[in-house]
C-alpha cells in the first residue's frame, strides 16, 4: 500500500545552524486502543510543549511523525520544531512496522537531500520507534531490517526503539540493531504510563542540538524518567 | 533557605527562577535587584574542586568589575559568595530578567522571535548589536579578562535597552591579578571554539585566551551581519553521496574552510546567504584576518584575529544616528538597509533566491504557516544596580557607545515606518500586471483594461514567477526590470515540468488568457 501523505514538508528555517532531524514512528494498531492511544496523544502534545522549553534547540530540531497500523501514514511531514503541531491519532488495525521503518528512512533521506541542496549541516538523524506489539508485515521484515541495520552501522541514523506494555516484542525491536552492535538499548514502559518518554525525547534532541558532532556516539543524554527502564 | 555571605550578611532565598546545567537560580527575599545561584551537588567531584571554585569567585569579586557599563547592566558578575555552614554553595549576582538570547537576534523570518521583538528590524540593528557585543568584550579584554565559553546561550539580549548582557560569568577564564592563580574555563560549545581548542580532547587541557574569544566574537558578528550564515558552512559540491554529517563536523573550523574568505575546493556559499562583498571593506578585512587560515597555520595565525577593539572601530560608523552616510535603504522595502557601497539591494537578491527555491510548494502549505507560538516571557526589564559597584572610572572610549538603538528607527518614528512599509508593499505589487493570478481564477473583466502587450505579459508573468527564462527580448527585458524576477530555468526545461509546477489557478488562468487573446485577435 502506498504511503499516504497528509501534509507537505515545511521549508527549513535557520539554514545557517546545524539541524537535528527526528522521525517519530508510532504504533496505532488496534491493541493501542483505549488508555494507550490517549497516553500517546497526550505524549505528543507534551512533546510539543517540551520543544518550546529550549529555544536554541527549537530553531534546530526538525520533526516528522509517521504512524502505522494496517497501513503507514505520514501524520506530519518534516518541519521545523517551531511549527510542530501534535496530531490526534486513533487506534485500529494491524502493525505494519516494517513498512513504517522504510518510510521513516525515506523521509530522512529526502529531508537530508534538502539540507544538502541548501548547505544546511545536520546531526545524525533520530528514529524514535514506539510499539506495543510485534510487526505483522513479516514479508517486509528482511528488507526493513537490512536497511535499518545498514543505516545504524553507517552512522546514518540514531535508532531509539521503545516497547510499551507486556506484549511489546523487545527482542524483535533489538533485532534491528546491526549484528555486531555492542549494545542494543530499548526503552520499556507500561502501556498506561509512558508519555514522559516524549518529554525525554525532546530534551535529548535539545542536548544533541548543542553537542559536538564529532562525538555524537558519546553524547550524554538526560536520564530517562523513572517510568522508563532501559534494556540492553 | 538561608545562606550567609562573605561578610556575614544573611540572604534568604525565596523561589526558584530557573535551572541550568550546573546550578539553580533563586530570587532573594527583600531584594529584587540580585539573585542567588546555588550550584548543584554534581558540579563538584571533590572538596578541592569546590574550594577552587570558591577561590575563583573570591578573585572575581575582588576584581571589582562593574556589572553596569554606561548605566546599563552588561555582566552577570558575581557579587558575593553564599555559604551554607561555611561551605561555599553558590553566589549572588545581578538579576537579569530577559529570556532572550543572542541567537534570537541571529534568526530572522516571519515567525521568528526577532520579528515579534523588533518588527522594524533592519541590518542596522544587526550592526548595533554586533557593536555592543564587541564593545563589552573590548572592555573585558582591557582588564585582561578572558570569557572562554563565549557561546550564544551565554549572551542574553536586553530588549529594553537593546543591548547584550553576558551571563554565566562564573565560567569565565580568570587569572588572579595578584597571585597569578589561573582558574581556567573548562566548558565550551564546539561550534564556537577556535581551531586551537577543537582537537585538544578535553577542554581542561585547552587554553582559552583573548585570541580564542576573538574567534568566537567573529562568528557572532558574522552571524549577526550575514543573516545567520555559518562562516564555516556551505554547500558541499565534491560528491553527491558525501553527506555533510559524514565529514567530521568541526573539521571545517580546524582546517579553516571558510568559503567566504577564500576558495575552498568542494564548497560553495549557499544561495540564501548574503555575499561578503555586501559588507564594507574594513569589515571584510577583519573577517579575512580572523577566518583566513589553514590547518597548518591556524595556531600561528591566531594572533592575526581581529580584536574586539578593531570590531568596535569598524562597526561604530554603521550604528551612527540617521542620516547615516554609511547606509542605504532599499527603494522597494524600507526594512532593507545595507552598506552604502552596494549598487543594488543585497537583501532583495537573497530574498528572491529564498522564495523561488520554495515557491513551488509554498502555496500549498501557506495555510499551515499560521501562528507559531513561542513561549517567551513578556514584560522584561533590567534592574539598575545602586550602591554596590558605582559606575566609575570607565575608560573614555567606553562612553562612545550608543546606549540605545537609534531612536528614530525604533520608536518615535514608528508610525511613519509602518506607513513606508505599506508603500513598499504596494510598490512590489505594482510590479505585477495581475498580482494574484496565481491564487484566484481570472475573468475577462481582469483583462479588458489591458493593452495587447500587457495581456501577453500577464500570461508570461505566471511563468516568470517560477524563474522561467524568455526567448523574446522585450518580454525578457521587462521581467528583468522587476525586482522580483530571477532567471532560473531554460524555457524547454521549464515547459517540460510546468504541468507539475503550476497550480490549478495558474493552469486555468493561462487557458483564460490564451482564449481571450484568441478572441481579441492578438495571436
Contacts of A15 in chain B (CB under 8 A): 228-229, 270, 272-273
CB contact under 8 A, A118 and B362: no
- Nearest residue to B187 (alpha-carbon basis) of A210, A58, A218: A210
Question: Do residues B72 and B12 touch, judged by C-beta distance below 8 A?
Answer: no
What CA–CA distance (Å, rounded) separates B484 from B359? 12
In A, minimum Cα distance to B193 occurs at: A212
What CA–CA distance (Å, rounded) separates B130 from B105? 10
Interface A–B counts its CB contacts (< 8 A) at 116
CA-nearest residue to A81 within chain B is B372
Place of cell 493561462: B510
Task: For residue A217, tell me if it sits in a domain.
Answer: no
Cα-based angle B152, B154, B156 (whole degrees, multiple of 5):
85
Q: Which residue, among B195, B226, B244, would best test binding to A if mutated, counting the most A CBs under 10 Å from its CB?
A: B244
CATH 1.20.58.1690 assigned to B432-519: yes
- Indicate whether B511 pLDDT > 70: yes
Whether residues A52 and B373 touch (CB distance < 8 A) is answered with yes
Q: How far apart are CA B7 and CA A215, in angstroms?
A: 45
A6 touches chain B (CB under 8 A): no
CATH superfamily of B98-378+395-422: Transferase(Phosphotransferase) domain 1 (1.10.510.10)
- Contacts with B291 (C-beta within 8 Å, 6 or more apart), sequence order: B218, B231, B232, B256, B258, B260, B261
Q: Could you tell me if residue A216 is inside a domain?
A: no
Residue B179 to residue B250: CA distance in whole angstroms: 36
Tell me the residues of chain A between 132 and 151 that have a Cβ less than 8 Å away from chain B. Answer: none
Kindly report the backbone phi and psi dihedral angles of residue B316, in degrees, each rounded to the nearest multiple of 5, phi listed first: -55, -45
- A50 chain-B contacts, CB cut-off 8 A: none
Q: Does A56 touch chain B (CB under 8 A)?
A: yes
Residue of A nearest to B355 (CA): A11
In this structure, what C-alpha cell is assigned to residue B410?
525604533
Which stretches of chain A are assigned E, i.e. beta strand? 4-5, 20-27, 61-68, 72-80, 126-131, 158-164, 186-189, 229-231
Strands B182-183, B235-236: pairing is unpaired
Q: Give the whole-angstrom CA distance, residue B133 versus residue B154.
A: 12
A171 Cα to chain B: minimum distance (Å)? 30
Determine the pLDDT at residue B128: 95
Contact A55 B113 (CB under 8 A): yes
pLDDT-derived band at A6 (thresholds 50, 70, 90) equals: low
CATH number at residue A78: 3.40.50.410
In a domain? residue A72:
yes
Interface test with chain B among A19, A45, A55, by most B beta carbons within 10 Å: A55
- pLDDT category, B150, cuts 50, 70, 90? very high
Model confidence over A213-225: pLDDT tens digits? 665 556 778 888 8
DSSP secondary structure letter of residue B466: T
CA distance A73 to A25: 10
Residues of chain A positioned with their CB less than 8 A from the CB of B268: 119
% of chain A beyond a pLDDT of 90: 83
Architecture of the B1-97 domain = 2-Layer Sandwich (3.30)
**Is B243 in contact with A82 (Cβ distance < 8 A)?**
no
The cell for B182 is 589561573
Facing residue for A119 by CB, picked from B103, B235, B376? B235
| CB-based contact A136:A94 (threshold 8 Å) | yes
CA gap B411, B433 in Å, rounded? 36
Model confidence at B243: pLDDT above 80:
no
ipTM metric: 0.89
Determine the Cα–Cα distance for residues B377 and B112; give it in Å rounded to an integer.
15
- pLDDT tens digit string along A132-165? 999 999 999 999 999 999 999 998 999 999 999 9
Collect contacts of B464-467 with beta carbons under 8 A, ≥24 apart. B465/B359, B465/B438, B466/B356, B466/B359, B466/B360, B466/B494, B466/B498, B466/B501, B467/B356, B467/B494
Contacts of A77 in chain B (CB under 8 A): none
Count of beta carbons in the 10 Å neighbourhood of residue B423: 13
DSSP strand pairing (A61-68 vs A20-27): parallel
Lowest mean pLDDT among B185-194, B311-320, B471-480: B471-480
* Domain boundaries, given as residue ranges, for chain B: 1-97, 98-378+395-422, 432-519
Point out the least confidently predicted range of B164-168, B180-184, B383-387. B383-387
Give the number of other CB atoms < 10 A from CB of residue B349.
17
Mean residue pLDDT of chain B comes to 82
Number of C-alpha atoms within 13 angstroms, CB side, residue B234? 24
Closest residue on chain B to A111 (Cα): B243
- For residue range B396-408, list pLDDT tens digits in order: 223 334 433 333 3
Tell me the shortest Cα–Cα distance from B229 to chain A, in angstroms: 4
How far apart CA A79 and CA B222 sit, in angstroms, is 26
Instruction: Tell me how far CA of residue B204 lies from CA of B78, B148, B187, B215, B300, in angstroms.
Output: 22, 11, 8, 19, 21
Per the structure, the complete domain to which residue A57 belongs is given by 4-211+222-231
Contacts of B256 (CB under 8 A, 6+ apart): B195, B262, B291, B292, B293, B294, B295, B298
Query: With contact defined as beta carbons under 8 Å apart, do B3 and B82 qualify?
Result: yes
- Dist. CA B233–CA B257, nearest whole Å: 8
Quick check: B361 and A112 CB within 8 A? no
Judge whether B144 and B94 are in contact, CB under 8 Å. no
Sign of CA dihedral B502, B504, B505, B511: positive
- The tens digit of pLDDT for each residue in B402-426 reads 433 333 333 333 333 333 333 333 3
Amino acid at each position: 500500500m502506498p504511503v499516504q501523505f497528509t501534509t507537505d514538508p515545511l521549508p527549513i528555517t535557520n539554514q545557517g545552524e546545524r539541524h537535528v532531524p527526528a522521525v517519530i514512528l508510532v504504533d496505532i494498531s488496534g491493541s493501542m486502543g483505549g488508555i494507550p492511544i490517549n497516553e500517546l496523544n497526550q505524549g505528543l502534545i507534551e512533546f510539543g510543549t517540551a520543544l518550546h522549553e529550549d529555544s536554541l534547540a527549537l530553531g534546530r530540531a526538525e520533526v516528522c511523525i509517521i504512524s502505522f497500523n494496517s497501513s503507514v501514514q505520514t501524520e506530519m511531514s518534516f518541519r521545523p520544531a517551531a511549527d510542530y503541531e501534535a496530531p490526534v491519532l486513533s487506534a485500529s488495525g494491524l502493525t505494519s512496522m516494517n513498512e513504517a521503518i522504510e518510510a521513516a528512512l525515506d523521509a530522512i533521506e529526502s529531508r537530508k537531500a534538502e539540507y544538502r541542496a541548501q548547505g544546511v549541516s545536520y546531526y545524525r538523524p533520530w528514529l524514535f520507534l514506539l510499539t506495543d506489539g510485534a510487526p505483522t508485515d513479516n514479508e517486509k521484515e528482511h528488507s526493513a531490517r537490512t536497511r535499518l541495520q545498514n543505516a545504524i552501522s553507517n552512522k546514518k541514523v540514531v535508532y531509539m526503539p521503545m516497547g510499551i506494555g507486556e506484549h511489546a516484542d523487545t527482542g524483535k525491536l533489538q533485532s534491528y540493531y546491526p549484528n555486531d552492535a555492542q549494545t542494543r538499548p530499548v526503552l520499556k514502559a507500561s502501556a498506561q504510563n509512558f508519555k514522559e518518554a516524549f518529554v525525554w525525547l525532546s530534551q535529548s534532541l535539545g542536548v544533541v542540538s548543542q553537542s559536538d558532532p564529532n562525538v555524537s556516539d558519546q553524547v550524554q543524554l538526560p536520564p530517562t524518567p523513572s517510568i522508563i527502564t532501559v534494556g540492553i | 533557605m538561608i545562606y550567609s555571605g562573605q561578610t556575614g550578611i544573611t540572604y534568604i532565598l525565596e523561589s526558584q527562577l530557573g535551572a541550568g546545567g550546573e546550578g539553580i537560580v533563586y530570587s532573594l527575599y527583600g531584594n529584587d535587584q540580585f539573585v542567588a545561584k546555588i550550584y548543584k551537588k554534581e558540579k563538584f567531584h571533590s572538596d578541592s574542586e569546590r574550594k577552587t571554585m570558591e577561590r575563583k569567585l573570591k578573585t572575581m569579586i575582588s576584581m571589582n568589575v562593574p556589572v553596569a557599563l554606561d548605566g546599563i547592566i552588561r555582566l552577570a558578575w558575581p557579587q558575593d559568595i553564599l555559604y551554607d555552614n561555611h561551605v561555599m554553595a553558590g553566589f549572588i549576582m545581578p538579576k537579569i530578567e530577559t529570556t532572550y538570547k543572542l541567537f534570537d537576534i541571529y534568526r530572522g523570518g516571519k515567525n521568528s522571535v526577532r520579528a515579534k521583538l523588533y518588527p522594524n528590524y533592519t541590518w542596522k540593528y544587526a550592526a548595533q548589536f554586533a557593536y555592543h557585543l564587541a564593545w563589552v568584550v573590548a572592555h573585558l579584554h582591557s582588564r585582561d579578562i578572558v570569557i572562554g565559553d563565549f557561546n550564544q546561550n551565554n549572551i542574553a539580549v536586553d530588549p529594553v535597552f537593546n543591548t547584550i548582557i553576558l551571563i554565566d560569568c562564573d565560567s569565565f577564564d580568570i587569572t588572579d591579578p595578584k597571585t597569578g592563580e589561573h582558574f581556567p574555563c573548562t566548558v565550551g560549545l564546539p561550534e564556537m571554539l577556535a581551531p586551537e581548542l577543537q582537537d585538544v580532547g578535553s577542554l581542561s587541557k585547552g587554553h582559552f585566551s583573548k585570541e580564542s574569544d576573538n574567534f568566537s566574537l567573529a562568528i557572532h558578528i558574522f552571524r549577526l551581519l550575514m543573516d545567520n550564515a555559518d562562516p564555516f558552512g556551505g554547500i558541499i559540491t565534491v560528491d553527491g553521496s558525501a553527506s555533510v554529517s559524514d565529514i567530521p563536523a568541526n573539521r571545517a573550523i580546524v582546517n579553516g574552510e571558510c568559503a567566504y574568505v577564500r576558495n575552498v575546493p568542494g564548497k560553495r556559499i549557499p544561495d540564501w546567504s548574503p555575499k561578503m562583498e555586501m559588507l564594507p571593506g574594513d569589515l571584510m578585512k577583519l573577517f579575512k584576518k580572523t577566518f583566513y587560515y589553514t590547518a597548518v597555520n591556524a595556531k600561528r595565525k591566531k594572533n592575526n584575529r581581529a580584536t574586539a577593539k578593531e570590531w568596535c572601530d569598524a562597526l561604530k560608523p554603521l550604528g551612527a544616528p540617521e542620516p547615516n552616510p554609511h547606509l542605504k535603504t532599499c527603494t522597494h522595502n524600507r526594512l532593507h538597509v545595507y552598506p552604502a557601497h552596494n549598487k543594488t539591494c543585497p537583501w532583495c537578491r537573497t530574498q528572491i533566491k529564498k522564495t523561488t527555491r520554495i515557491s513551488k510548494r509554498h502555496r500549498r502549505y501557506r495555510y499551515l504557516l499560521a501562528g507559531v507560538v513561542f513561549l517567551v516571557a513578556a514584560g522584561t526589564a533590567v534592574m539598575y544596580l545602586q550602591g554596590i559597584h558605582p559606575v566609575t572610572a570607565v575608560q573614555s572610549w567606553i562612553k562612545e557607545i550608543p546606549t540605545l538603538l537609534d531612536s528614530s528607527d525604533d520608536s518615535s518614528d514608528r508610525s511613519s515606518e509602518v506607513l513606508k512599509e505599506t508603500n513598499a508593499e504596494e510598490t512590489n505589487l505594482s510590479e505585477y500586471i495581475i498580482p494574484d493570478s496565481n491564487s484566484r481564477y481570472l475573468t475577462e473583466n481582469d483583462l479588458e483594461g489591458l493593452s495587447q502587450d500587457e495581456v501577453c505579459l500577464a500570461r508570461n508573468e505566471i511563468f516568470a514567477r517560477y524563474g522561467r527564462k524568455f526567448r523574446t527580448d522585450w518580454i525578457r527585458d521587462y521581467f528583468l526590470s522587476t525586482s522580483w524576477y530571477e532567471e532560473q530555468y531554460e524555457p524547454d526545461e521549464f515547459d517540460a515540468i510546468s504541468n507539475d509546477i503550476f497550480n490549478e489557478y495558474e493552469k486555468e488562468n493561462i487557458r483564460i488568457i490564451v482564449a481571450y487573446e484568441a478572441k481579441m485577435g492578438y495571436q
